[in-house]
Amino acid sequence: MQRCGKVGQTAAMATTSRPVFTLQTSPIHLGSGATAEVEPDFTGDEAWYEAYMQRHAADGVEARIVAMHTFDDSWEMWEMHPNGHEVVLCTVGRMTLHQELLDGSTRSAALDPGEYVINEPGVWHTADIESSATAIFITAGAGTEHRPR
């Protein structure tokens, strides 16, 4: 097999164009059967999330959405995912994630780039942003709830 410049890349792979997407604008849906699908451009409004849930209703609570968001201000709300865990991975800046645990206690974790926290199902969480921070979220979104901070 003929090799190209990159280790493990074949000549056929080098000539095939591949679509490239930006995680901040086009989240990824991870679904049943180990599928991955590019989602329409993210708008952040409730209608986008409703359409996402309709498109992937067959995946139920096993569905995961992977998205990246940049924040310049602390969150104005709390959120909670009742049907699955959420991974919050800080990639740029610093953020402090606050959790209200199921036993009623609270905890906070300051995240630097490369560090992550897992929000367990049913745990309310919010974040404070020191100046600007970017994070990747891997979320079991079915049934997500929000409340004012």
Indicate the pTM of the whole model.
Answer: 0.85
Q: What's the pLDDT band for 12 if we cut at 50, 70, 90?
A: very low
Residue 117, phi-psi category: left (phi > 0), alpha (psi -120 to 50), beta (remainder): beta
CA distance 93 to 9: 34
- pLDDT surpasses 50 at 43: yes
Q: How many percent of the chain have pLDDT more than 90?
A: 81
- pLDDT surpasses 70 at 78: yes
- pLDDT surpasses 90 at 148: yes
CA distance 145 to 121: 11
Q: Which two tokens stand for residue 128?
A: 């404070």
Give just the sign of the alpha carbon dihedral 130, 134, 139, 145: positive
Quote the pLDDT of residue 16: 59
Overall fold of domain 22-148: Jelly Rolls (2.60.120)
Lowest mean pLDDT among 43-52, 70-79, 115-124: 43-52
- pLDDT surpasses 50 at 1: no
- pLDDT surpasses 50 at 7: no
CA distance 145 to 149: 13
